[in-house]
A and B are shown apart, each in its own frame.
Chain A
């Protein structure tokens, strides 16, 4: 996983509540068994005028010029500004992979759906929860200027616009450390293998039926 320490990038304002993971990455792309290559399909239904599939050559797609991702001024944006309950719906991690592959490094919203938030964390993307007032203000600033550039510092947990500090944010310390170091959760958990084994042994004594082999 790519580490996240600090990042400076252009903001893409996505002004919609309850953006669900079906919208972020439509179901036909869940057929891919790869972990990479989802960037061209991010917001596919909005982004293209025709319907695509895993096997469609992206160069043949008809682009929707009105959709924000296709506007020249937002090319290269790497911070998504969003509204409430962002990433709700399906647990598909493909939604986080699509952001990662598109080049989004951080998301800012008043609230995120739980599973999506975790999925971002596990893929080197930083979801930042800020108050509605601050998010409103950022949207207004985006309307005023086409290229709002923010700097995010995960060491200090701060968001800056030039020299101006926009906000501080909080996140679980363990998650923050993982992101800072780009670490694999599994290795960290396996360091506690003994504790897990001990727990499991006691459980098996008490509820042995949970350990029965499943016959197929």
Chain B
């Protein structure tokens, strides 16, 4: 059976918006900065609610920020 993982482009989209620091994104989404760090490092898969909040804060669609991909 194939294994799937949630991958994200939070770091790329955040860095494309110069003023958006990890702390600012964390505050906008109601999480700690350490959770943003874990998300960017791919160590944590967010809840659906947090995923929507992140996409909204980054000004992107959910599917642009998150992909559900088969693990290598």
Co-complex (A, B): no
Interface of A toward B, CB cutoff 8 Å: none
